Structure 1
Amino acid sequence: MAKHTPQTMRGQFLEAFKTAYALRNVPLPKPSAPDDILIKVDAASYCHTDYVLAQGQMPGLPKAFPHIGCHEFAGTVVSHFDSPSSKASAFKEGDRVGVPGRAFHPCGSCFECQGSKDPVGRDEKGYSIYCPHSENNGLSKHGGFAEYAVVDARQLAPIPAALSAVETAPLMCAGITIYAALKRCQLEKGDRVGIIGAGGGLGHLGLQYGVKMGYKVHGVDAADAPLRLANGLNTGARIVDARFEKAVDIVQQLGAEDGKKDRGEMGLDAVIILPETQAAFDYGMALLKSHGKCVVVSFPEDGFHISARDVVFRDISIIGSLVGSNRVLREMLNFSAEHNVRAITKSISLPRLNGLVEEYHKGEGGKLVIDMAMTD
């Protein structure tokens, strides 16, 4: 361990479900396996999943209390295990890295790790972000709401010079999730895609990615603050207020633009569902033309009701999307740097994490980030 590294750190701990975070001083964690790397956390982003976990809505998680949350963070490499693997050795002390929560210590031998048929950027054999036996920073093991964290070198991505830690942290879950969902739409340039929930953490990034990928993007939301955020991005996407514009009217307008008369030819080629409401799901499905794709990212506790008629008579494909592989993660970061895709963020210091949670419940869109450089 580097000589300047302290022996203790501050961390924000959940000590029970449905309670506030508690700031505690604890010993520094240490790398315990060849792929382990100790990083100094520079920024940690708050995700909806952090709220779900804290409410006790993820069965079996966390494995124990007290628990440090956050599965989307960024930091700087501090030290390695005594005998590091080749993957770990590739990251040098001082390197800036992005950390998604998934796939800490995957088994390397299961169906997923040996090369499953994930169509969006499988990783090399022996590692998979879908490994059912792996740990997950911020969920099953400690995450980024602390000054230091132990991470797996295989899950990391180098941060491009154009991106700061605060800009990178939200991309480690929100960014990679919406980027991978867009790839699952399998669109061509000029195709139309709808982002349902366009003003939220994932949605406002999706607007930017979709436009920069060359798609005709329709962003849909139904609340004032997220709509203001989506409109304020000035991406060129069409922003729709679902409270006042019916899906059927939008479809008719698009049909008129294209000179189409048959319902099956009119509408969007794909939609991505981000909110957890049935109304949002139904609105997205109603926007699709025949043979379109509905990519579902949200997972409400009671699920969604799906019309068999949409699936059978309109040939709508309903596809789930969780996150992207490490290869796609690196692609997404480089794309973000090159095309100036950035999350709209509000930052706060680590001791004020509970205040950040209060901000989250206001539902004003964008992303909320702990910036470790901020003073108390």
Structure 2
Amino acid sequence: MKVHALAAYAPGEPLRPFEYEIGAVSGFDCVIRVQSCGLCHSDIHVVDNDWGGATFPVVPGHEAVGEVVELGPGVTHLKIGDRVGVGWQSGACLGCRDCLRGNEQMCDANQATILHQYGGFGDYMTVDSRFAFPIPDGLASAAAGPLLCAGITVYSGLRHAGMRGGQEIGVIGIGGLGHLAVQFAAKLGNRVTVFTTSPEKAEYAARLGAAEAVIVGRDGSPPQKPSRPLDIIIDTVASGKDYNAYLNCLDSDGVFNLVGIGNDPIPLSVFAFQDKRRRIMGSPIGSRSEMIEMLGLAARYGIVPQIETFAFERANDAVQHVRDNKVRYRAVLLMD
């Protein structure tokens, strides 16, 4: 099968047409006719080779949703015609301690979709079917794509920070990750406080279910304390802030979880977390079981990303919009 895709042939270059062949399927292979594919900053980082390890040409797209058109002989949980999604992770060893604990996302041999294979910016893609997830009927394909990356990142991060329900949850940043974190926290029964630099974003967060907003300066100045101490703060920005001040917004035994990607060192005072037995942690994407759980909850409670759609032919426009932080809040390419 010949695939018509878009690829970056060198770091930072615009996407150009690229063709490749999908060979005979075997084992757990799954071939998907792509209907839509999200574009996030991680795609840009790989296209620009900011993190190293990219193999060019790079076909981006790790938020792909489409129809199963071919299956390997080892696949029993999917059938032709199923609508499935593929996220950041496309493989793992499935035999190490992490995998056997159900933490495939932390496997040392985990494979990122656009680093180890061609992504979803094409009419077809192939993937290990064990990392292709059925999309519930209640979710539109275009909206489901960003949930496969941003959605699972914040959902898993909140869960592993201890979110249950009936808690005080803080969300730093109302962007591609933050606007989904507000929805998951609020619609699963928690009171949400947002920290944002924009009154307009604070109003938007209130429409998503946030109960309180703290407006912070863009210069990283300390935030004003919210009206109630928080059980969890999830940081979707992860740079340029007074971390000790945010830790002091937490209640005793509170948890500060970093899910946004940042490279800056984090200066911390031991007193900010020792006196109240607070904790600071990081969290990557979620496991396969969490992905299925998250998609089900999103369909049940109407948790959807705000998206801007672009025709496939306008992929470079979408890339530039994401580079310039102009997208509100997730960009999605439509293939059909």
TM-score (norm 2): 0.92
CA distance in 2, matches of 1:149, 1:301: 32
Q: Secondary structure at the match of 1:230?
A: helix
1:172-191 equivalence runs, <5 A:
172-191=148-167
Kindly provide the amino acid, as one letter, of the partner of residue 77 in structure 1: V
Pairing 1:366–2:329 present: yes
CA contact (8 A) 2:223 2:245 kept: no
Pairing 1:75–2:66 present: yes
1:246-325 equivalence runs, <5 A:
249-251=224-226, 253-254=227-228, 267-279=229-241, 281-325=243-287
Change (3 A) 1:222 1:282: farther
CA contact (8 A) 2:136 2:295 kept: yes
CA distance in 2, matches of 1:300, 1:167: 26
Query: Where do 4+ consecutive residues of structure 1 move more than 6 Å?
Result: none
Find the partner of 2:168 among 167, 184, 192.
192
Pairing 1:93–2:56 present: no
The alpha-carbon deviation at position 284 of structure 1 amounts to 3.0
Percent pairwise identity: 26
Q: Secondary structure at the match of 2:113?
A: coil
Find the partner of 2:292 among 307, 325, 330.
330
The alpha-carbon deviation at position 167 of structure 1 amounts to 1.1
The alpha-carbon deviation at position 224 of structure 1 amounts to 6.1
Instruction: Write out per-residue CA displacement over residues 292-323 of structure 1, whole angstroms, 9 at most, x where no aligned residue.
Output: 10011123123322222223223211111101
Pairing 1:151–2:114 present: no
Matched residue pairs, number?
334
The alpha-carbon deviation at position 51 of structure 1 amounts to 1.7
Q: Secondary structure at the match of 2:154?
A: helix
Pairing 1:30–2:23 present: yes
CA contact (8 A) 2:3 2:125 kept: no
Unaligned 5+ runs, structure 2: none
Paired position in structure 2 for 1:237: 211
Change (3 A) 1:224 1:371: farther
Paired position in structure 2 for 1:19: 13
Q: Secondary structure at the match of 2:13?
A: coil
CA distance in 2, matches of 1:340, 1:317: 31
Q: Which moved more, 1:278-287 or 1:302-311?
A: 278-287
CA contact (8 A) 2:194 2:210 kept: no
Kindly provide the amino acid, as one letter, of the partner of residue 285 in structure 1: L
Q: Secondary structure at the match of 1:272?
A: strand
Change (3 A) 1:152 1:190: same
The alpha-carbon deviation at position 214 of structure 1 amounts to 0.6
1:162-181 equivalence runs, <5 A:
162-181=138-157
Kindly provide the amino acid, as one letter, of the partner of residue 251 in structure 2: K
Change (3 A) 1:102 1:371: same
Q: Secondary structure at the match of 1:217?
A: strand
CA contact (8 A) 1:194 1:284 kept: no
The alpha-carbon deviation at position 355 of structure 1 amounts to 0.3
CA contact (8 A) 1:229 1:366 kept: no
Q: Which moved more, 1:201-210 or 1:310-319?
A: 310-319
Q: Secondary structure at the match of 2:106?
A: coil
Change (3 A) 1:248 1:371: closer
TM-score (norm 1): 0.82
Pairing 1:109–2:99 present: no
CA distance in 2, matches of 1:243, 1:203: 17
Find the partner of 1:66 among 57, 74, 82.
57
CA distance in 1, matches of 2:238, 2:264: 9
Change (3 A) 1:228 1:28: farther
Kindly provide the amino acid, as one letter, of the partner of residue 177 in structure 2: L
CA distance in 2, matches of 1:93, 1:334: 21
Kindly provide the amino acid, as one letter, of the partner of residue 328 in structure 2: G
Change (3 A) 1:139 1:237: farther
1:118-137 equivalence runs, <5 A:
122=102, 128-137=104-113
Kindly provide the amino acid, as one letter, of the partner of residue 109 in structure 1: G
